[in-house]
Structure 1
Amino acid sequence: MALSDRKSLNLNQEQVEELSEQFSTIDKDGNGYIDLSELKSALDLVGFKIPQWQVRQMIDQYDRSHKDGRLSFIEFQGLCVDLKSKDVATTFKKVVSKRENLETLGGMSHASSEAPPQNCTYRRKSVFAEAYNPEEDDDEGQKAVFPKSDEQRARLSDAVQSILLFRALDPAQMQEVLDAMFEKKVSPGENVIQQGDDGDNFYVIESGQYSIYVKTDDSDEPKKVGSYENQGSFGELALMYNMPRAATITADSEGSLWAMDRQTFRRIVLKNAFKKRKMYEQLLESVPMLKTLESYERMNLADALVPRTYKDGELIIEQGDDADGMYFVEEGTVRIMRGEQGQDEVQINAIEKGGYLGELALITKNPRAASAYAVGDVRLAFLDREAFERLLGPCMDVMKREMENYEEELQKIFGSSVNISDVR
C-alpha cells in the first residue's frame, strides 16, 4: 500500500465523533453498547456493505470473547478502523459530513486522499503521523524487563489469558509480554487515558471498574459510552494507527492495571502478528486444498491459526477422542498411526511440511479414528472447530473427495473396508 494510502487509514477527531453519532442511533437505550445481532445494521449505517456471511464470521469471533453478546463503541470503532486498514472499505461511505461535505470517511474522496480538511478539528500534529508499518521496522530495540514477584507474575498471567491481541504469540513471546508489562494502581476518579492525547501505553485490566467517555462538539460534557469491570484491555488503537486517544477511560473504583509502552507493544504484538500472518499465508499457499480460497479468505484463515509445538514422540491426536480442530504442518513430520482392536498400531501415513491432519473428523463429526505423533521437533498451526466451520466451507468438497482415497488406503493396510472418521 502506498504511503499516501496508509495516511488515510486514520480517523480524525470529527470522524470519531460522527461515528459515535451513528453508533448512538443503534444504541437506542443509550447504555454504550450494541447487541452483536445488530452489528450488520451498524456496519451498514456507516457504509460497510459487507455480506451477511462475513458479518456472521465477525459475530462468531466476538461471541467467544464477549459472553454478554454486546459490543462497546470503542470496540466498534476499532473494528471499523481495522476494516479500513484491510481495504474492505472501498465503499466506506457515510452520511455527508456536516462540515466538510465529504463523500467518504477517510480515504475514498480526493480531499481525504490528499490530507485532512483544513478546518478539521484535531489535537496534535503528531497523531497524523503515518500508521506503524511492521514490514518496514527493522529495529528490534532493547527488550523492556520490569522485575516482578512470583505473586505479581501469577496475577499478570491470569489477566492476559483472555486478551485476543496475545492469541497469536508463542510461549517465548508471551514471556516477553510478561517481562515488559508494569503494574499501575489507580484510584476512583483517575483518568487512565484522556481523549485527544497521544497514545503512550496499552493497558490490560486486572481489577476495578472503569467508564468510557466520548466528548463530541455537540455537547459540553462527555457522554458515557461503555464500561469495563475486572477484565478487558484498552489503548491499542492509538498505538496501532497513530491516532489520538478516541475516548477517556476513568476509574470508578480502586483498581490494578498492567501497562505496556508503545515501542514494546509494537515490537512484540504488532510486529510478531505481522510476521505470523506472513508466515502462515506462505504456508497456506502451499496447501493444494486451499487453492479454492480467495486471497482474503486465506488471510482470515492465517489470522485464526494458533502455533503449537511438540517434541519427538509426543502425542498430538489420540484415536477415539472427540475432534477439537485440525492442524497444518509448519515444520517437521507427523506420523499417523491406527490400531484395530487387539492389534498393535500400524503407521498409515506421514504428514510433512505443507500437509494437514485432523480435518476429516470435523467433517464427519465422528471421534478420531487414528492417532498422530510428532517425529522429531514439530511446529503445527492449529485451527479450532469453530474457525474450521466458519472459514473452510469453500474447501469442503475437496476434503470429502479425499476421504474416498483414505478409505482405499486403509483397505489395503487392514484387508477390509474401514468406516473412517479421521485417518490423517
Structure 2
Amino acid sequence: MSHHPNYEIPAELNNLLIDFTVSVLVNRPGDLIEYAANYFNRLLDERRNSAPSNHSLQSNHCNEDDNDSTSSDIKPPARLSFTRRKSVFAEHYDPEEDEGDTEQIFYPKSDEQRQRLGEATKNILLFRSLDPTDMNEVIDAMFERKVEANEVVIKQGDDGDNFYVIADGTFSITVANDDGTEKEVGKYVGSGSFGELALMYNMPRAATVRAVTAGSLWAMSRQTFRRIVLKRAFMKRKEYESFIEKVEIFKFLEYYEKMSLSDAFMARCYKNGDLIIKQGDQADGMYFVQEGIVRIIKEENGQEQELSRVEKGGYFGELALITKKSRAATVYAASAEVKLAFLDVLAFERLLGPCMNIMRRNFNHYEDQLVKLFGSKSNVTDLR
C-alpha cells in the first residue's frame, strides 16, 4: 500500500504570496527571478534582525494576521499544482493599462450590514492600503449570497469567479487526494474571507470550500475585484513610492527598503479639527503628511501650547516609538483635508533603522524647543 506525502504548507503562505504579487505589480521588474530572490532575502534579513520579537514574515502590515486567512484556525490548501487549461480567466491583467469600465457598482445594504461588512474587511491584507473612499466602493460592490448546509461555494480546479467574505456560518476547506477522496485542511467559523488567490494568480481554484452549516457570504465579482482591489492597491503603492522619494529622511534607504516601506504604509484621512494623536496614549505608529497640515499641542502643568505645525513631506509620532514612552503631545488635523501615510510600530522598528540617527537628532531640537516654551527639561520624554 503506497503512502502519499503530506503537501500541507505553512499558514502564512497566502499572505506571503499576496504581498509579493502586489509588489511585483507595483515595481514590474525586468528580471522576475532576480527580483524574487532579493525580495525574499530582504524578508529573511528583516526577520533575523527583528529576533527575538518573533514577528511574522508579514509584519510590515499592522495586525497582519487578522486578515483573510487567519480569522479562524485555517490551514491553506495543501495542493496548489493543477494542469492549466485555456479559460475565460486566463487573460493577462495589467493594472496600469486597465482602462475598462469605471462605472461604480452598487448593491443596497442596511447601515448594520455596511458596518458589519466594514469590520469584516478592514483587516484583509489587500484592502489595507485603500483609503475610506475606496473601501466604501468595495463595500458598495459586494453582493450577498445565501448558502445551505453542504453547498459547495468554490470547487477545486474551477475558474475563479468571485472573492468571498463570510458574514456567518461555518465553512470547510478541502483538497482532493490522488485516490479521489478529500482531505480537510482548514475551516472558517463565522468569519474570514477566501477566493482571492485564484483571482490574483490567474490559476484555477486551489481547494474546495463547502458550507458546513447554512450561512451567508458577501461576494465580489472577478472583474470588480481586479478593478477596485488590485488596481487601487497598485495605484496606491505607486503613490507611496513617489511620496517616499520626496521625504528627506528616506534618502538613506536602499531601493528594496523603499519598496518595503511603500508596501507597509496604510492610508489615514482626517477632516479639520479631527484628533489624530492624544497626549498620554500608547504609541502604535508614526505618520507622514501626504496632503494638508496638522498642529501639535503640548500640555504641561495645566498650560497648553501649540508646538508646531507639520505640512506635506513632514512626519510626526516617531519619538514615542524611539523613547518607548506614551504620547506626550496631542495632534489635530488643521486643514480641510489631511491625508496621512501611517506606519505601524512593527514596520517602524524593522524598516526605518537607517533613518534613526536623523530622528534622534531632531529629538534634541524638540527638547530645546520645549525648554523655550515651558522653561523646564525635567519632563521631556517625547513631543509627539
How would you bin the TM-score normalised by the shorter chain? 0.7 to 0.9
Query: Are residues 69 and 163 of structure 1, via their aligned partners in 2, closer, same or farther at CA, if it must alter by over 3 Å?
Result: closer
Contact 2:72-2:189 at 8 Å conserved across structures: no
> Residue in 2 aligned with 1:51?
44
Q: 1:357 aligns with which of 301, 316, 321?
A: 316
> Residue in 2 aligned with 1:372?
331
CA shift, 1:364, in A, is 0.5
CA shift, 1:68, in A, is 8.4
- Code of the aligned partner of 1:73: P
Alpha-carbon displacement from aligned partner over 1:373-403 (angstroms, at most 9, x marks no partner): 2221211122222332233233223322221
In structure 1, distance between residues paired with 2:375 and 2:120: 53
Q: For residues 99-138 of structure 1, what are the structure 2 equivalents within 5 Å?
A: 121-130=83-92, 132-138=93-99
CA shift, 1:356, in A, is 0.4
Q: 2:176 aligns with which of 206, 215, 219?
A: 215
Residue 355 of structure 2 corresponds to residue 395 of structure 1 = yes
Contact 2:74-2:188 at 8 Å conserved across structures: no
CA shift, 1:331, in A, is 0.4
Structure with the larger RCO, 1 or 2 (CA within 8 Å, 6+ apart): 2
Residue 156 of structure 2 corresponds to residue 153 of structure 1 = no
Secondary structure of the 1:258 match is: strand
Query: Are residues 140 and 286 of structure 1, via their aligned partners in 2, closer, same or farther at CA, if it must alter by over 3 Å?
Result: farther
CA shift, 1:358, in A, is 0.6
CA shift, 1:291, in A, is 2.3
> Residue in 2 aligned with 1:72?
75
In structure 2, distance between residues paired with 1:75 and 1:181: 28
Secondary structure of the 1:421 match is: coil
Query: Are residues 57 and 420 of structure 1, via their aligned partners in 2, closer, same or farther at CA, if it must alter by over 3 Å?
Result: farther
> Residue in 2 aligned with 1:198?
159
User: So what's the TM-score if we normalise by structure 2?
Assistant: 0.79
CA shift, 1:229, in A, is 1.2
Contact 1:186-1:251 at 8 Å conserved across structures: yes
Q: Find the structure with the greater CA-based Rg.
A: 1
Contact 2:164-2:195 at 8 Å conserved across structures: yes
Q: For residues 23-422 of structure 1, what are the structure 2 equivalents within 5 Å?
A: 23-24=7-8, 51=44, 53-54=46-47, 56-58=55-57, 60=59, 62-65=64-67, 72-74=75-77, 121-130=83-92, 132-215=93-176, 218-343=178-303, 345-377=304-336, 378-417=338-377, 419-422=379-382
Contact 2:78-2:185 at 8 Å conserved across structures: no
Contact 2:268-2:341 at 8 Å conserved across structures: yes
In structure 1, distance between residues paired with 2:330 and 2:66: 28
When structure 1 is superposed on structure 2, of 256-265 and 367-376 the one drifting more is 367-376
Gaps (5+ residues) in structure 1?
Answer: 1-19, 27-32, 40-46, 78-104, 106-119
- Code of the aligned partner of 2:57: M
CA shift, 1:151, in A, is 4.7
Contact 2:79-2:175 at 8 Å conserved across structures: no
Contact 1:181-1:259 at 8 Å conserved across structures: yes
When structure 1 is superposed on structure 2, of 316-325 and 239-248 the one drifting more is 316-325
In structure 1, distance between residues paired with 2:328 and 2:150: 58
In structure 2, distance between residues paired with 1:354 and 1:146: 38
In structure 2, distance between residues paired with 1:222 and 1:181: 30
Query: Are residues 295 and 23 of structure 1, via their aligned partners in 2, closer, same or farther at CA, if it must alter by over 3 Å?
Result: farther
In structure 2, distance between residues paired with 1:190 and 1:75: 21
- Code of the aligned partner of 1:256: S
Identity of aligned residues (%): 54
CA shift, 1:264, in A, is 1.1
User: So what's the TM-score if we normalise by structure 1?
Assistant: 0.72
Gaps (5+ residues) in structure 2?
Answer: 17-36, 49-54
